Chains A and B, each alone.
Chain A
Amino acid sequence: MATLYIDNKPHEIKPGNSLLETCLSLGFDLPYFCWHPALGSVGACRQCAVKVFKDADDKKGRLMMSCMEPATDNQRISILDKDAVEFRAGVIEWLMTNHPHDCPVCDEGGSCHLQDMTVMTGHAYRRFQYKKRTHLNQNLGPFINHEMNRCIQCYRCVRFYNDYAGGTDFGVFASKANVYFGRHEEGTLESEFSGNLAEVCPTGVFTDKTLKQHYTRKWDLTMSPSICQHCSLGCNIIAGERYGDLRMITNRYHGEINGYFICDRGRYGYEFVNSEGRIRQPILHQHVVDREKILTEVSVLLKNSKVIGIGSPRASLQSNFVLKELVGKAHFYQGVSTREQSMDELALAILKDGPVRTPSMKEVEEADAVLILGEDLTNTAPMLALAIRQSIRQEPMKEAAKISIPPWNDAAVREVIQDKKGPLYVATVAETKLDDVATSTYRAAPEEMARLGFAVAHLLDQTAPEVIGLNEADLALANRIVHSLLSAERPVIISGSSCQSESVMKAAANVSWALHKKNKNVGIVLTVPECNSLGLAMMGGNPMEAAFQAVENGEADTVIIMENDLYRHSSKTVADKFISRCKNVIVLDHSHHATSANAHVLIPAGTFAEADGTLVNNEGRAQRFFQVQESANTIKESWRWLLDIGAASDNARIKQWKNFDDITVTIANEEKLFNGIDKVSPPSDQRMADGQRVPRQPHRYSGRTSMLANVNVSEPKPPEDYDSGMSYTMEGSRTLPPSSMIPFFWSPGWNSVQSVNKYQKEVGTALRDGDPGVRLLETNSDSPVDYFKEIPEKFRAIKNQLWIVSVYHIFGSEELSAKSASVAQRVPGSYLLIHRNDSEALKLTEGEIIEFQIKEQQYRLPIKWSDSIAQGTAGLPIGLNSVPYVDLPAWGILKK
């Protein structure tokens, strides 16, 4: 620890960070623009000036940019010095000369860093009387709105978009006061992280375009801490509601997972909640009925028939658990295909029983060598791809450390490392967006990828099984990978279930285990398909094929399908047959889909916005999402419907559960793997120190005596929250809530998202009482290594057939986000990705229709060429609505 004197008062600090970061961590209000905790300092905006004194006798001092100076021991600085205050006010006044007077129509207003900083420096009156500079705007696609007039040239956008997220279609044009931030020509921003521009931009140049369609100020939103539902990483988000609609998703800082950013699927996928395709009323045989009627109907069915329940990897642990209890453990099915289930179980086994621990995304960012086996991360787990873009800087950054350049000094670090990149090996079926930063790429069928992995494992540890018949090029690559992994301090192996090949995941496990014998810091990251896939695997349940069998054999005649579209996990013929054989199909879901269209009883479940629940992410971290709004309709959480059904049908055990806590505590006590999930969030009866709840609404929330006055001038009683210690109103405690219950970031004088600084122990580190969530799977580093031995055969192409594997799209492959209007605009058309040579051998050019058959499923799809996909294999974008489900990988038989 060191001592820093700020305005002659001593403060205990950690030396080495920048003065700005240190001052902010200590709680001082110091204005800044270009600095961002994740992007580092460049000293461009000159806003954070402070006086630095040579020693105690120095009374004059000199002005310095606090973001560019490291804090040292016994340093003396002044924030309140007259010169510094005047300098900062002057800088703001300059920045404001060209800033338009359009705050009333600006979407940033009320959560604007520029507004906050202007107020903070005391610049209240504009003396500038001359003409203002103007810019033309661009249409940047469905996600981001552009209004260049508001720009203050802080360069954060390019630094995030190009330097941090690796975008290539965005830049800065023109010169001096005229600089222009945008694309070289109008068009959709290609980066999957473009939505973060809305949060990175300190003013309203880049704003959320979907928010604009139902615009609400930040102070008018009812907000809740939530968890993203659109992939397995479990990024923390804030969901905001107004007038019964979900209006906006913003990032919720989590030091270990998503940090300051989220991907566009997470940010814009929310619109499915407001979509026309929602199930809003209970429906019995095509007729809308009321709650009581549906409950009696279902409880009668439960008594008089043989019921099975199908759970879901996108439903919360609570919902799956109550369904399991309602139908009985023997009649609970996981609701994913057998292959998917075995992949999830394998991932669980590797994470639980293996000696290698799975690192968080923050740790992946700090990895200095990465091997990816079979995952197109940008499309399956986008934020992990962003983490990897940071990890490739780690190895060259060691150079900067050698010449004493601190890592936060961004411009200098980038000057040192230039284009050097750390080791990153990407083995996938087809091109990925990470290829541009990869040391080597490897394109092959999943079997070949697995063989490469097994070979690497064998080279690392001779006791690992050996691969016979590996060709020389692959062996050379394996040797290079081994060399990189061995020379790294913190290597990470990444794989997952997107290839749907167990051997790929096993190969990744073998590599990490073999490396673990030499380096205990190695980590393995496995991605799984959905937001709660790992949680479902931990909960257990029979495979879905067994459910089909049970109905076929007459062991069951009624099925409860919860938050699951069977047509996305089994082929159409099988699902059709299953549904037609069932006497009663009860579907509990929030959105209409192919399965709900065939339901006899349809029950409106809540989306994440109308529900409380716990999800387990790919890291094994249990995290809670909180309900944002109480629905006006009969929409309720799935688990609450099931509790009501259980109570109506006199299920003694379910009858005693009344709220979220009852279920969660039961899960924690009864299921060994879920020990501790009751600690994820404080119990619902816990209040803040002043005896109050945590308010979901900011203290400036407006319109509560008017928003429902058109219905009835007497205001209704606000809904009560029985499931958490939060309130649905603005009443409540204004102190810092527990980190798992932060509904929004706000601090006096800090209305924008930058106020997150005040919620952290130290800027850029964990939240004040620790990052939320409980890691359920901590491995034992001494666990014995039992290598996987089943090495797949070499892949051999077959004439007139193609080995069809899945390829993914960030926009479209995931079920719920694809229903969002803005995301739907980015969903590609269906296609089959095949190698140019294969296509030419078939005398087909790009865009022509290829016909083929996988099992009974017929396909007619346009061809898309790839120069890198292995010959004899083809990529099918499974998950797109226009591509029917089939169990992949499988041989596709071409039709002449």
Chain B
Amino acid sequence: MFSIVRSLWITFLHMFHKRETVQYPEQKNKLTTRWRGRIVLTRDPDMGERCVGCYLCAAACPVDCISLQATEDESGRRYPEFFRINFSRCIFCGFCEEACPTYAIQLIPDFEMSEYNRQNLVYEKNELLIDGPGKHPGYNFYNIAGVAISGKGKGENDNEMPPIDTKSLLP
């Protein structure tokens, strides 16, 4: 008898506590930037596609849900001809983000991706690519890698010497 009354009392007291339940979807939780949700492809500060189609994300993916085909544009920049993520398989582990050498692929704090039709969970590049650099604002792969693209020749990267004159034997 006493225990019933005690339980009622405790329950009654809870009416004055701070509420833990969030009234989703009217009310939304704040997620940190490191939260691993929907995957996006980001762009350089100069709005070029960051993804160079190196296939490392695909190789790192434990459920093999990323496929792409690398190609090269006329300026010599590599980019994915298509980039497909099958979110119905994705486990949001973030390995792809860790593997990405160009900060192109990033997981963002958005998880509201439910679909009635599973086929709609297959995202192509136009659905993945965003117009911004995401979590790494200043990074530009082509300023660091030693490859030449049009408008930026050999030796014009950060930390590079001008190209060697092969005809010179001077020290």
| Chain A hits for B160, CB < 8 A | 131-132, 134
Which stretch, B14-22, B81-89, B130-138, touches the partner chain A? B81-89
Q: Would A713 and B145 count as touching, CB distance under 8 A?
A: no
Q: Would B164 and A702 count as touching, CB distance under 8 A?
A: no
Given contacts A706-B66, A706-B84, contact A134 B161 (CB under 8 A): yes
Q: Would A104 and B86 count as touching, CB distance under 8 A?
A: no
In the complex formed, the residue of A with least CB distance to B88 is: A713
Contact of B163 among A130, A135, A705, A709 (CB under 8 A): A135
B71 in the interface (beta carbon within 8 A): yes
Whole-angstrom CA separation of A730 from B167 in the bound complex? 50
| Chain A hits for B102, CB < 8 A | 104
Whole-angstrom CA separation of A131 from B162 in the bound complex? 10
Name B138-171 residues within 8 Å CB distance of A: 141, 144-148, 154-155, 157, 159-169, 171
Give 1 or 0 for each of A132-144: 1 = CB within 8 Å of chain B CB.
1111110000000
Q: Would B59 and A243 count as touching, CB distance under 8 A?
A: no
A101 in the interface (beta carbon within 8 A): yes
Given contacts A214-B69, A702-B67, A706-B64, contact A101 B145 (CB under 8 A): yes
B63 in the interface (beta carbon within 8 A): yes
Given contacts A102-B146, A104-B52, A713-B119, contact A131 B66 (CB under 8 A): no
Distance from A17 Cβ to chain B, minimum over Cβ atoms (Å):
36
Q: Would B167 and A173 count as touching, CB distance under 8 A?
A: yes
A219 in the interface (beta carbon within 8 A): yes
Give 1 or 0 for each of A281-315: 1 = CB within 8 Å of chain B CB.
00000000000000000000000000000000000
| Chain B hits for A178, CB < 8 A | 164, 166, 168
Q: Would B66 and A703 count as touching, CB distance under 8 A?
A: yes
B98 in the interface (beta carbon within 8 A): no
Whole-angstrom CA separation of A217 from B165 in the bound complex? 33
Q: Would B67 and A104 count as touching, CB distance under 8 A?
A: no
Of residues A104, A109, A175, A216, which shows the largest number of chain B Cβ atoms within 10 Å of its Cβ?
A: A104
Whole-angstrom CA separation of A870 from B35 in the bound complex? 80
B28 in the interface (beta carbon within 8 A): no
| Chain B hits for A217, CB < 8 A | 55, 59
| Chain A hits for B147, CB < 8 A | 100, 102, 105, 147, 149
B121 in the interface (beta carbon within 8 A): yes
Q: Would A710 and B124 count as touching, CB distance under 8 A?
A: yes
A704 in the interface (beta carbon within 8 A): yes
A471 in the interface (beta carbon within 8 A): no
Whole-angstrom CA separation of A322 from B155 in the bound complex? 62
| Chain B hits for A104, CB < 8 A | 52, 54, 56, 78, 101-102, 141, 145
B6 in the interface (beta carbon within 8 A): no
B47 in the interface (beta carbon within 8 A): no
Distance from A731 Cβ to chain B, minimum over Cβ atoms (Å):
13
Q: Would B85 and A706 count as touching, CB distance under 8 A?
A: yes
Q: Would B53 and A215 count as touching, CB distance under 8 A?
A: yes
| Chain A hits for B154, CB < 8 A | 134-137, 149
Whole-angstrom CA separation of A110 from B157 in the bound complex? 25
Q: Would A702 and B144 count as touching, CB distance under 8 A?
A: no
Distance from A703 Cβ to chain B, minimum over Cβ atoms (Å):
3
| Chain A hits for B162, CB < 8 A | 134
Q: Would A705 and B64 count as touching, CB distance under 8 A?
A: yes
B108 in the interface (beta carbon within 8 A): no
Q: Would B146 and A132 count as touching, CB distance under 8 A?
A: yes
| Chain B hits for A243, CB < 8 A | 69
Q: Would A136 and B163 count as touching, CB distance under 8 A?
A: yes
B128 in the interface (beta carbon within 8 A): no
Q: Would A713 and B118 count as touching, CB distance under 8 A?
A: yes
In the complex formed, the residue of A with least CB distance to B148 is: A137
| Chain B hits for A134, CB < 8 A | 146, 154-155, 157, 160-164
Q: How many of chain A's residues touch chain B, expressed as a range?
A: 35 or more
Name A701-733 residues within 8 Å CB distance of B: 701-707, 709-710, 712-714
| Chain A hits for B101, CB < 8 A | 103-104
Q: Would B161 and A712 count as touching, CB distance under 8 A?
A: no
Given contacts A705-B89, A709-B122, A710-B124, contact A105 B78 (CB under 8 A): yes
Whole-angstrom CA separation of A149 from B56 in the bound complex? 22
| Chain B hits for A705, CB < 8 A | 63-65, 86, 89
Given contacts A100-B146, A105-B54, A702-B61, contact A713 B86 (CB under 8 A): yes
A375 in the interface (beta carbon within 8 A): no
In the complex formed, the residue of B with least CB distance to A104 is: B54
A174 in the interface (beta carbon within 8 A): yes
Whole-angstrom CA separation of A180 from B169 in the bound complex? 12
Q: Would A130 and B159 count as touching, CB distance under 8 A?
A: yes
Q: Would A706 and B89 count as touching, CB distance under 8 A?
A: yes
Q: Would B169 and A703 count as touching, CB distance under 8 A?
A: no
Whole-angstrom CA separation of A724 from B171 in the bound complex? 60
The tally of residues in B whose CB lies under 8 Å from a CB in A reads: 52
Give 1 or 0 for each of A810-854: 1 = CB within 8 Å of chain B CB.
000000000000000000000000000000000000000000000
Whole-angstrom CA separation of A176 from B169 in the bound complex? 9
A59 in the interface (beta carbon within 8 A): no
Q: Would B55 and A220 count as touching, CB distance under 8 A?
A: yes
| Chain B hits for A483, CB < 8 A | none
A789 in the interface (beta carbon within 8 A): no
Whole-angstrom CA separation of A178 from B56 in the bound complex? 32
Contact of A215 among B61, B70, B141, B164 (CB under 8 A): B70
Given contacts A101-B146, A104-B145, A243-B69, contact A710 B59 (CB under 8 A): no
Distance from A601 Cβ to chain B, minimum over Cβ atoms (Å):
36
Contact of B66 among A214, A700, A702 (CB under 8 A): A702
Q: Would A707 and B67 count as touching, CB distance under 8 A?
A: yes
Whole-angstrom CA separation of A462 from B15 in the bound complex? 120
B110 in the interface (beta carbon within 8 A): no
Distance from B163 Cβ to chain A, minimum over Cβ atoms (Å):
5
In the complex formed, the residue of A with least CB distance to B121 is: A713
A212 in the interface (beta carbon within 8 A): yes
| Chain A hits for B59, CB < 8 A | 110, 217, 219-220, 700, 702
| Chain B hits for A176, CB < 8 A | 171
Q: Would A702 and B58 count as touching, CB distance under 8 A?
A: yes
Q: Would A702 and B55 count as touching, CB distance under 8 A?
A: yes
Distance from A704 Cβ to chain B, minimum over Cβ atoms (Å):
5
| Chain A hits for B70, CB < 8 A | 215-216
Given contacts A101-B145, A174-B168, A702-B55, contact A713 B122 (CB under 8 A): yes
Whole-angstrom CA separation of A132 from B146 in the bound complex? 9
Contact of B58 among A182, A212, A220 (CB under 8 A): A220
In the complex formed, the residue of A with least CB distance to B61 is: A702
B72 in the interface (beta carbon within 8 A): yes
Distance from A644 Cβ to chain B, minimum over Cβ atoms (Å):
33
Whole-angstrom CA separation of A707 from B54 in the bound complex? 16
Contact of B71 among A103, A215, A700 (CB under 8 A): A215
In the complex formed, the residue of B with least CB distance to A109 is: B54
Distance from A226 Cβ to chain B, minimum over Cβ atoms (Å):
23
Q: Would B66 and A133 count as touching, CB distance under 8 A?
A: no
Whole-angstrom CA separation of A101 from B142 in the bound complex? 10
Distance from B166 Cβ to chain A, minimum over Cβ atoms (Å):
4
Distance from A173 Cβ to chain B, minimum over Cβ atoms (Å):
4
Whole-angstrom CA separation of A702 from B136 in the bound complex? 26
Whole-angstrom CA separation of A714 from B86 in the bound complex? 10
Q: Would A706 and B164 count as touching, CB distance under 8 A?
A: no
Distance from A223 Cβ to chain B, minimum over Cβ atoms (Å):
16
| Chain B hits for A173, CB < 8 A | 166-167
| Chain B hits for A174, CB < 8 A | 164-169
Contact of A706 among B86, B118, B119 (CB under 8 A): B86
- Chain B residues with a Cβ under 8 A of chain A: 52-56, 58-59, 61, 63-72, 78, 84-86, 88-89, 101-102, 118-119, 121-122, 124, 141, 144-148, 154-155, 157, 159-169, 171
Given contacts A110-B55, A706-B89, A707-B84, 10 further A-B contacts (CB under 8 A): A100-B145, A103-B54, A135-B163, A147-B147, A149-B147, A220-B55, A702-B66, A703-B64, A710-B124, A713-B118
What are 11 A-B pairs with beta-carbon distances under 8 A?
Answer: A100-B147, A102-B146, A102-B147, A132-B146, A134-B164, A137-B154, A147-B147, A175-B169, A215-B71, A702-B67, A712-B119
Listed from nearest, the 4 A-B pairs whose CB atoms lie closest are A100-B146, A703-B67, A104-B54, A702-B58
